Amino acid sequence: MSEGVEVKTGTNPAQDNLAQEFVQFAVAGGVLRFGEFKTKAGRLSPYFFNAGLFDDGAKLGKLAQFYAQRLLASGIDFDMIFGPAYKGIPLGAALAVELARLGHNVPFAYNRKEAKDHGEGGTLVGAPLQGRVLIVDDVMSAGTAVRESIALIQRAGATAHAVVIALDRQEKATEDGHDVAHSAVQYVQHTLGLQVCAIAKLNDLLHYLQHHSVPGLADAFDQVNTYRASYGVDGP
């Protein structure tokens, strides 16, 4: 088993800047878009984060740097990386490469949506799932994908230990079609018991929009802030 990655927690004055740099990077790349978008919960959101638009080597490499910086500063320790199908696969692979470049070489695995009935077979690809597993994804909307990953990891005899995401929408989750007081991230933290860290949060996006003049986005701050007033959650 890998010895894992373990970093001492400490105050890092660059952390707030990291979130702002990430938001700027996502806006400039068209990954963070503004307008009117329907969410899984049926809400009309004034912004949309589409990690699939980190669609070339330079963007994906830069994204992996953001993931690695936030993760290594978080104090979260883990033994291997798991990328849930589908978006988590390239994200997890890119993060594994970046961590290795920084001197933290850890195993990586991912899953298929459908089991393969030839070759090696099964739904898991890559390193055997073992030890403390870090799940990598883009955003967390309802926590459904995380629960599925946890079940898969536990069946393999490993421990789902933590999740790293690109953006925390800090938004009320829904259960049975109704809004609840907690976000998906809070649910994963407090109910499922996993540590979660995000490169940036909705608060960071609002700070960026408030302090930067972005062409064509003059009303974006007011629209996102109004949306947060309706669907935002209290606390981190």
- Band of the pLDDT at 176, cuts 50, 70, 90? confident
Q: With respect to residue 162, please indicate whether it lies within any of the assigned structural domains.
A: yes
The model's pLDDT over 76-134, given as tens digits with 9 standing for 90+, comes to 999 999 999 989 999 999 999 999 999 999 999 999 877 655 445 468 999 999 999 99
- Band of the pLDDT at 13, cuts 50, 70, 90? very low
Q: With respect to residue 9, please indicate whether it lies within any of the assigned structural domains.
A: no
Residue 118 appears among annotated catalytic residues: yes
How far is 9 from 58, CA to CA, in rounded Å? 29
Check which CATH number belongs to the domain holding 168 and give it. Answer: 3.40.50.2020
Q: Which of 38, 116, 190, 212 is catalytic?
A: 116
How far is 186 from 191, CA to CA, in rounded Å? 8
Q: With respect to residue 10, please indicate whether it lies within any of the assigned structural domains.
A: no
Binding-site residue ranges for orotate: 48-49, 141, 169
How far is 127 from 15, CA to CA, in rounded Å? 31
The pTM of this model reads 0.88
The model's pLDDT over 49-71, given as tens digits with 9 standing for 90+, comes to 999 999 999 999 999 999 999 99
- Domain containing residue 186: 15-231
Q: Which of 38, 59, 104, 118 is catalytic?
A: 118
Residue 116 appears among annotated catalytic residues: yes
- Does the structure show a pLDDT above 80 at 30? yes
Q: Which of 208, 121, 111, 206 is nearest to 158 (CA)?
A: 111
Q: With respect to residue 4, please indicate whether it lies within any of the assigned structural domains.
A: no
Binding-site residue ranges: 40, 48-49, 86-87, 112-113, 116, 118, 137-145, 169
Tell me the longest C-alpha to C-alpha distance in the chain. 55
